[in-house]
Structure formats: C-alpha cells, structure tokens
C-alpha cells in the first residue's frame, strides 16, 4: 500500500512538473499572439499592407537565396549584417536552396505597378519573400522587412535569449516621387567623410534616395578643385567659435584659422560610390553668386569690390543686415561679380571637375539670397547693364544664372537653382528647387520647369521643433505635425513637372553630428512619408503611433532624436484686463500637463493644466512637465515669467 501511495505521489509530482513546463512554455504562444496583435510600424507607410494570421520565427540558421546575387549584393550584405549582429544567427547566402529563409527575387518580366523602386514583401509562417523589378526595389523591401522585426533588431550588440518573431504580412509598395531628398549643409560646419556616410546610412532606412550636399558658402569651401588650391588652403578654414552663430564677435587677426576641413577628390569618389551602393544619388551644390565669401577670401579678384582683398572666411560674425528682409543688405560683399569674365572662367574650372566627380544628372548652383547693394553702385555692373540692355538688378542676376547654366549644360549636366532664379527671368531648361514657399514651385511647374518642392514652412529641419527654451534659437519653428502636412504635389500644380520633394538641414546652429541627428528625427520621418506614401494613406494619429515605436528603434541604434512631440506648445496673450494668459497645447493626444509656479519641480500630483493659466502676482518661474498615464514622458521645461511677459508683447 505504501508503495502504491509513493507511486501515485511520484506520478502527481511528475505531472505537476510537466504542467509547470507547459505553463512556462506558453510564452511562445503568448508571444505569437502578442506579435500578431502588434501594429505594423513601417515608415514610410506602404501603398498596401495586409496583415495575416500567424507569425514568422527566425531560425538558428538563416539562409538567404538570391539567384542574381551579384546584382543584389548590397541588399544581401545589409540583411546579413543586420540580422547577424543583433540575433547572433548564422546567415548564409546561396543561389538555390530547398527551404530558404529569405528569398530575394528580381522579376524576369517587369511588374508595371512596381516601377524601378517598388517591391512586394510577403511574410508567411515559414518563409519571407521580397520581389522587385530592380535591385533598388529589393533594397527598399529589405528596409521594410527589418522594421517588421522587434526593435531589438537595431541593436549593435548581440541580444541573447530573444525569440525573433514578426507578423505575417503582404506588402505592395512603391514611391510617389522619384526624388526623395535630404539636404546636408557641410559648409557652415564641416562634417567628416565618415559622418556623411552615417548620414546616408540613416536616410536609407526611411527610403530617402537623394543626398543634396551643400558644399560651399560664406563659412567654408569643402571640395578640392585642382588648379585652384586656395579654395581649400584658405576657403576651407575659419576661427572656431562656440555659442550662437551670427552673434559672434569678429575674429581678431591673431586667432588661428584651423577650424573646418574639406573633401579630397578621392573622398568624393568614395562617398559617391558608397551612396550608389545604397541606391542614393548625390546632388552637389556650389552656391553662387551670393553666399560666396569663402570663394572671395580665396580669390578676391572675383569680387566687384576692391576691399575684398581684406575679406576672411566667415566664422559666424554678422555679415548681413536682415532688417529689410530678403534679399539682405550685405555688410561685406559676399557675391561674385557678374560683370567679371574671370568669374565665368573660374566657374568653368569648378563645374568641369564637379561634373566629372558626381555622376548625377543635376548640378545645383544656388542663386539664393544674393545681396545686390554692392552691385547697384558698381561701375562694372552698370556697364554690363548698358551693354546687355538690362533694366534691373534682378535681370543682372538672371544674366549671371543663364551664363552659369550654359557652362553646366556644356559639361553634359542639367542646371538647378533655388527659386530666386525665377525673379529676373530664367532659361526654359532650368530646374527649380522651391524653398520660399509652395507658390514658387507651383508657378515654375506650371511654366514647365522641373521642380523639387522644399518649402520652408514644411521642410526646413534647422528650424526649432519645440519651445525656444529647449532648442538652439533660430528665426522660425517647425513642429512635427506641421512637417507631416507637407504635400509636394498639391492639386493646383502640373504634377508631371514635380520631380521630387526634400527637406533641408542648414547647419549654422549645428556644431556636431549628434545634433544633426536630433534635428533630423523624427521630422524626417514625416518628410519621408510625404514623398513616398500616397496622400490618402497619411494619418496623423497612426503616424504618431509608428513614430513612438521607432523611437525605441533609434534608442537601440544609438541615434539621437528629438522628443519634442511630448512638449506642449506654449503661447501667451493678454486678457482684456491685461492679465498674462498662458496656454499649453499638447501636440499629440494622450498627454497630461502638470505645472508649478512655486520654484519646485512638478510631477503628476501637482496642478493639472485644463485651461489658460494666470501666473500668481509674485511668481518668477513656470515649470511644466507632461505625463502619459503615470509615467513622465516630456522634458521638464522651465521658463521665467519675465520671458513669458516679453512674448505677450
């Protein structure tokens, strides 16, 4: 009897242990359920995405099959590196396999729906398949695939004990525009070759395919030109200053001009190849006739102004008076002389080498914000106007632009400029990058110029993205919700001439690459969706949810970004009885705002903002923080009441 009892007890114990194992194992089933219920968070939003039942689990040995592996080298390398680094899985590549994990297929007969950059992505419980007409489509499909994996896929270190699951989906996707650009100003502050590569790596994650490099400005010349050594010996260097750009004290003669740098022609070739391997074109920009102080400091004979022999590359001191608006009044003559034949010989040398280094069809020659006050009083310019029957100074600039375009076209390239080139009349073949608003781009496209839309109100990523107390101060703001409203192809435009859209990152106030990232993300998410996704697929609430998920990915990728969407918008006004009224408006739903006036740090047990608040009579500082539920999520913002009073004026 005792033996029977012992045997029964033993069986119960074993059954209990077995049951425990079953209970612990449902993490797999629960995880599958969790994955299948998770929202798909691809940015930019695909044209079509159908979520199916079930999940795919990455096996220990990952086999990538690609019949045309040479053509798909970059996509294979990308997937192998990304999967292998964080998961530790063994990744092999074969031409043919019985049961491949990931199949990359180039269509033998083109699918007209997909074009050159579209793809189809199928994830089922046993296999992943990406198909496309061209290698670029496979590459963009691979970017979407990585976004389907858990956020830990972004880690640069091995993640142990992780089940790598993703939801089963069918995706059909292709871009709205062929030109999906980000402009990187490397002239105001120099960024190294490796930093430019990192910029490219970051942008292709979100399907940008055009890097606009702003290579020359008042603050620096950034590219080696053989036969013109002073451009890099003199023009690439300034005095290092830290603080607020534009307000620096003019450098003294004894301060070393060692801040800056430039790219050799071999550097440029390396960057072009690096970009091409990732299906990115590089658009070079040499900004003339204005923004040319680095050129003039190197070669003063290219100026209309004799005093140019004393000019130096700008280090951030004030050189323009903007009180009258644009174009500004120049305090020093930073323009090339349109009446000087040496200028056109100089530009011929520069453009010849630029055209040889950059295979992209277009060369951008600037044309913006050229000050005219020195031209107006110059005898050479007056003689040019008489000789060429030019009635106005804008026509003088138009004369300059047309001559520059002839040089560009002679090198087998297409000419592009900022929308000011329209002001005095422009060649029918000139392409326009519209920055002063949508109206100039609409006008140019309706006049049958190729146009890239890049308007300040939606696409200038150097603008402040939150309250001025949290950002480097510049002259305007651009919140994420405004950037998301960008529509590069409005109803009133001749759409066939809108070849693209892009965002611009000017770097006057950006001193290092971490700040570059902070200013780009997440606003570049909004721009990527504006230039890739169908307008009917855009949805602010859904976009915010996907953005928050991508914050986790950026954290793991060690990419800096702005948390400004969690900071309230702060506005002030005066009531009829002159009381100061402070309004706090969240940019996204689901946030609670708490505040204090008593110099202490608020949390969720402090007063909750519900309506405009009036500061107590003797209060000196307002502190604000936002919560999502019980968790603080926004930055602690502290604003002196005196500053708020100034805003009300």
SS3 for 522?
coil
Q: What are phi and psi of 120, to 5 degrees?
A: -120, 135
How deeply is 519 buried, as exposed, middle or buried, from its count of CB atoms within 10 A (0-12, 13-18, 19+)? buried
> What Å distances lie between residue 91 and 143, 149, 385, CA to CA?
17, 16, 68
**189, 212, 214, 291: which one is catalytic?**
291
Name which of 518, 543, 563 is nearest 202 in CA terms: 518
> What Å distances lie between residue 596 and 49, 314, 438, CA to CA?
46, 44, 42
**45, 185, 202, 217: which one is catalytic?**
217
Name which of 442, 416, 529 is nearest 177 in CA terms: 529
- On whether the CB atoms of residues 446 and 422 are closer than 8 A, the answer is no
Cα 278 from Cα 74, distance rounded (Å): 7
Tokens 């001025």 correspond to: 468
Cα 527 from Cα 536, distance rounded (Å): 15
**154, 202, 369, 467: which one is catalytic?**
369
The DSSP secondary-structure symbol of 251 reads P
SS3 for 226?
coil
Q: What are phi and psi of 539, to 5 degrees?
A: -150, 115
- Please give the distance of CA 424 from its chain centroid, rounded to a whole number: 31
Q: What are phi and psi of 22, to 5 degrees?
A: -65, -40
Q: Which residues contact 416 (CB under 8 A, 6 or more apart)?
A: 283, 362, 363, 364, 365, 430, 431, 432, 433, 452
Q: Can you give the length of the chain in residues?
A: 649
Whether 217 is a known active-site residue: answer yes
- Residues identified as active-site: 217, 291, 369
């Amino acid at each position: 009897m005792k033996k029977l009892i012992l045997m029964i007890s033993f069986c119960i114990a074993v059954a209990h242990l077995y049951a425990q194992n079953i209970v612990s194992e449902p993490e797999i089933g629960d995880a599958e359920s969790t994955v299948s219920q998770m929202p798909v968070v691809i940015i930019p939003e695909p044209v079509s995405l159908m979520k199916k039942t079930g999940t795919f689990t990455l096996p220990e040995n990952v086999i990538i099959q690609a019949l045309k592996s040479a053509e798909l080298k970059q996509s294979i390398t990308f997937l192998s590196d990304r999967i292998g680094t964080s998961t530790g899985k063994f990744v092999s590549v074969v031409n043919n396999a019985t049961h491949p994990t990931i199949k990359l297929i180039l269509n033998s007969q083109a699918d007209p729906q997909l074009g050159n950059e579209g793809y189809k992505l199928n994830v089922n419980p046993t296999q992943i398949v990406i198909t496309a007409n061209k290698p670029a489509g496979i590459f963009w499909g691979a970017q979407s695939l990585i976004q389907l994996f858990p956020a830990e896929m972004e880690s640069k270190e091995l993640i142990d004990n992780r089940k790598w699951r993703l939801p089963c989906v069918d995706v059909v996707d292709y871009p709205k525009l062929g030109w999906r650009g980000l402009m990187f100003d490397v002239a105001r502050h120099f960024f190294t070759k490796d930093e430019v590569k990192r910029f490219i790596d970051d942008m292709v994650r979100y399907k940008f395919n055009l890097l606009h490099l702003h290579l020359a400005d008042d603050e620096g010349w950034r590219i080696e030109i053989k036969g013109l050594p002073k451009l890099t010996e003199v023009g690439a260097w300034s005095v290092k200053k830290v603080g607020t750009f534009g307000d620096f004290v003019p450098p003294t003669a004894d301060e070393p001009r060692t801040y800056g740098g430039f790219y050799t022609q071999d550097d440029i070739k390396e960057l072009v190849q690096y970009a091409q391997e990732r299906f990115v074109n590089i658009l070079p920009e040499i900004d003339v006739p204005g923004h040319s102080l680095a050129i003039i400091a190197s070669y003063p004979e290219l100026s209309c102004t004799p005093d140019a022999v004393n000019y130096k590359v700008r280090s951030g001191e004030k050189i323009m008076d903007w009180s009258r608006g644009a174009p500004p009044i120049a305090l020093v003559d930073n323009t090339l002389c349109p009446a000087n034949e040496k200028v056109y010989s100089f530009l011929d040398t520069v453009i010849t080498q630029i055209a040889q280094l950059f295979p992209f069809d277009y060369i951008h020659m600037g044309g913006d914000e050229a000050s005219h006050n020195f031209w107006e009083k110059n005898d050479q310019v007056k003689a040019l106007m008489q000789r060429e029957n030019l009635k106005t100074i804008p026509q003088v600039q138009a004369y300059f632009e047309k001559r520059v375009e002839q040089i560009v076209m002679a090198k087998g390239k297409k000419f592009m400029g900022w929308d000011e080139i329209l002001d005095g009349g422009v060649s029918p073949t000139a392409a326009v990058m519209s920055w002063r608003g949508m109206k100039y781009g609409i006008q140019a496209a309706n006049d049958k110029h190729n146009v890239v839309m890049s308007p300040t109100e939606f696409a200038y990523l150097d603008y402040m993205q939150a309250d001025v107390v949290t950002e480097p101060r510049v002259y305007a703001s651009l919140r994420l919700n405004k950037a998301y409203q960008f529509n590069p192809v409005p109803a009133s435009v001749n759409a066939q001439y809108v070849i693209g859209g892009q965002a611009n990152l000017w770097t006057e106030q950006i001193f290092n690459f971490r700040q570059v990232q902070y200013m780009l993300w997440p606003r570049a998410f909004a721009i990527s969706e504006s230039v890739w996704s169908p307008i009917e697929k855009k949805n602010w609430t859904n976009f915010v949810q996907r953005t928050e998920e991508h914050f986790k990915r950026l954290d793991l990728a060690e990419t800096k970004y702005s948390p400004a969407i969690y900071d309230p918008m702060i506005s002030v006004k005066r009531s009829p009885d002159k009381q100061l009224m402070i309004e706090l408006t969240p940019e996204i739903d689901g946030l609670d705002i708490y505040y204090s006036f008593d110099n202490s740090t608020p949390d969720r047990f402090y007063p909750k903002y519900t309506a405009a608040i009036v500061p107590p009579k003797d209060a000196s500082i307002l502190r604000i923080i936002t919560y999502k539920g019980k968790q603080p999520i926004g930055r602690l913002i502290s604003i002196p009441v005196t500053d708020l009073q100034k805003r009300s004026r």
